């Protein structure tokens, strides 16, 4: 008879999922920075790459708290989100809408991460993993801040630049 899965198992599986996702995001951010047209967008993607390295380190600390090996678990969701970003880089290369598309892809990633970290915090509290909570909260705060920065960048420059030129009447 199979062992019943518990919230502990779900927490660990989700931790492995987001660890895998962060590693994939770390690979994708330099590509996005290279593809971006504006210096602001390039700098934003590179800054988030640096933050992501710290987020991975915090996740590794959570694995240590649990006494578990640091291991990722293939995350199909992040694979799909990143694949969409690759499509935008290819299909909009050289266009005025490229940065707007890159930002929208980055925000899809952020929203996935925000959802994952939020539930990990709730579960860590439920499971009495008090040492893991501040590590996860620090990352969640960074993800929320990044999402806000991306929104500001989109509204301030990428979206207006990406708007199709209208012909004079």
**Each residue's pLDDT tens digit, 141-156:** 999 999 999 888 888 7
pLDDT of residue 156: 74
- From 132, 15, 139, select the one nearest 72 (Cα to Cα): 15
CA distance linking residue 47 with residue 36, whole number of Å? 14
Residue 132 scores a pLDDT above 90: yes
Its pTM stands at: 0.89
E strands within the chain?
A: none
Domain span holding position 21: 7-159
Domain contains 37: yes
pLDDT of residue 158: 52
Domain contains 164: no
8 Å CB contact between 29 and 52: yes
Domain contains 62: yes
pLDDT one-digit tens code per residue, 93-124: 988 888 888 989 999 999 999 999 999 999 99
CA angle 13, 17, 20 (to 5 degrees): 135
Domain contains 71: yes
For residue 128, the 8-state DSSP code is T
Domain contains 168: no
* Tally of domains in the chain: 1
8 Å CB contact between 167 and 101: no
**CATH number (domain holding residue 146):** 1.20.1260.10
The percent of residues above 70 in pLDDT, for the chain, comes to 92
pLDDT one-digit tens code per residue, 39-84: 888 888 999 999 999 999 999 999 999 999 999 999 999 999 999 9
Domain contains 2: no
**φ and ψ at residue 145, rounded to 5 degrees:** -65, -40
CA distance linking residue 73 with residue 18, whole number of Å? 8
Task: Please name the helix (run of DSSP H) or strand (run of DSSP E) that holds residue 66, with its range, or none.
Answer: helix 39-66
Domain contains 126: yes
Q: At what angle do helices 132-153 and 98-126 cross, to 10 degrees?
A: 160
> What's the token pair of residue 157?
């420059």
Task: Please name the helix (run of DSSP H) or strand (run of DSSP E) that holds residue 152, with its range, or none.
Answer: helix 132-153
Domain contains 21: yes
């Amino acid at each position: 008879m199979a062992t019943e899965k518990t919230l502990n198992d779900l927490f660990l599986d989700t931790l492995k999922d987001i660890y895998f996702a962060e590693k994939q995001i770390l690979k994708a951010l330099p590509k996005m920075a290279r593809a971006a047209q504006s210096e602001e967008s390039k700098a934003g993607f590179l800054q988030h790459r640096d933050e992501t390295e710290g987020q991975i380190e915090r996740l590794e600390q959570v694995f240590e708290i649990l006494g578990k090996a640091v291991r990722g678990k293939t995350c199909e969701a992040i694979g799909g989100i990143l694949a969409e970003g690759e499509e935008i880089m290819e299909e909009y290369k050289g266009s005025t809408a490229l940065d707007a598309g890159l930002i929208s892809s980055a925000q899809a990633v952020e929203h996935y991460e925000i959802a994952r970290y939020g539930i990990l915090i709730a579960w860590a509290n439920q499971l009495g993993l008090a040492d893991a909570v501040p590590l996860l909260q620090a990352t969640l705060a960074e993800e929320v801040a990044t999402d806000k920065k991306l929104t500001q960048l989109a509204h301030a420059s990428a979206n207006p630049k990406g708007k199709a030129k209208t012909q004079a009447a």
